[in-house]
Amino acid sequence: MYPKSIRTVPILLMVAAACGTRPAPLAEASLGGGGTGASNLVPVRDSLVAEMVEAAGVAAPFLQATLSTRLMGAVTTVLVHEGDRVRAGQVLVRLDTRDLQAKGEQAQAGLRAAEAEAAEAQRYAVRIRALYADSAAPRAMLDAAETGLARAQAGLAQARGADNELAAVAHYGELRAPFAGVVTRRWVDPGAFAAPGAPLITMEDAARLRVSVTTTPLLARTLHAGTMLEARIEDLPAIALVEGVVPVQGGGLYTVNAIVRDADGRFASGGAARLLLPSGSRLALLVPRAAIARQGDLTGVWAWQGERAELRWVRLGAERGDLVEVLSGLRSDEMIVLPRITEGN
């Protein structure tokens, strides 16, 4: 048994509809050339349709991030508001980093001192090596020079590491957008105190949406990365590209992740979504939507009976493009009347 959020929907695979010979072929319907009462006869035949299972989920943003800092300090500037579109790398928030600037100056001074000490130790070691080679300096003096050089080089590496670390921490004084997207929440205002890990800005990339649904292993085994599926987001039709199919921890079910492109913002981020998953095929009667006659809540078609047309009430199923499935009231190989489209209509 499928989860409660799943139900069956038929989708058209192939339409096997040929055109009649009287009074006019269907292909001429778009040409006009007849009076208002002119019409076409269309044979109704079984067509192969795919049986689809509808799985419900949520259309979440493909990328979403809540930005924070490693620093502790006051917020000086917030450059964005909710709903603002930002580009990747754009500065969103600035913090007070004057204490880091002071520490940076100290680190730079220490680095320059370590460089000078290492350079001096290098020159001294070169002189002692030459003297030792001429037997003018003892081995102990050479060892001391080499030890001093190694110590100076280690001090230089340590100073450089401290300077790089401080520069990396200072980078958190400006929060930049990690990707292009939309600001969905502004957590702070200028003057607020920022603590390490506290949220400052939340943003998302809604140009792509990820629809995640849960289904059975039987349906999941027919899907793979790159499979195209029909989808609906808040009752709007969409095309989804399967990103991956993975088993749910605990077994028995699979998660299907599919991507829907939404560069024009047509779909609602976080809206209810459904994926149509193929589950086999069957035969069905499909008729042109233009052949459907409506009277209030009743639906019917004009069935051709020898020399005249008779209104036949039918029960309809799903609409697929210009075709509608007839569930009852009509038999295969019967002829129905399709009104001719006249010029100007």
Q: Is 344 left (phi over 0), alpha (psi -120 to 50) or beta?
A: left
For helices 139-170 and 98-133, angle between their N-to-C axes, nearest 10 degrees: 160
The per-residue pLDDT for 340 is 60
Q: What is the pLDDT of residue 168?
A: 76
**At 209, is the secondary structure helix, strand, or coil?**
strand
- Tell me the CB-side half-sphere exposure of residue 198, using CA atoms within 13 A: 14
Query: In 3D, which of 191, 241, 236, 242 has the Cα closest to residue 221?
Result: 242
Q: What is the pLDDT of residue 48?
A: 81
Q: How far apart are CA 77 and CA 91, in angstroms?
A: 10
Domains of the chain, first to last: 7-61+206-339 (2.40.420.20), 64-96+175-204 (2.40.50.100), 98-171 (1.10.287)
In the numeric block, the tokens 């050339």 are attached to 33
Residue with tokens 């069956």: 8
Give the dihedral sign, CA 75/76/78/79: negative
pLDDT at 343: 43
Q: What pLDDT, on the 0 to 100 scale, is given for residue 105?
A: 82
**Other beta carbons within 10 Å of 105:** 10
The angle at the Cα of 18, spanning 17 to 20, to the nearest 5 degrees, equals 130
- Cα separation of 53 and 51, whole Å? 7
64 alpha-carbon distance from chain centroid:
10
345 residues of the chain, pLDDT tens digit each: 444 444 444 443 333 333 333 333 333 333 233 333 445 888 888 888 777 888 999 999 999 999 999 888 899 999 999 999 999 999 999 999 888 777 888 888 988 999 999 999 999 999 999 998 988 889 999 999 999 999 999 999 998 988 887 777 777 888 999 999 999 999 999 999 999 999 999 999 988 999 999 999 988 888 999 999 999 999 899 999 999 999 988 778 999 999 999 888 888 888 899 999 988 778 888 888 888 999 888 999 999 888 888 899 999 987 777 888 889 988 888 888 887 643 444
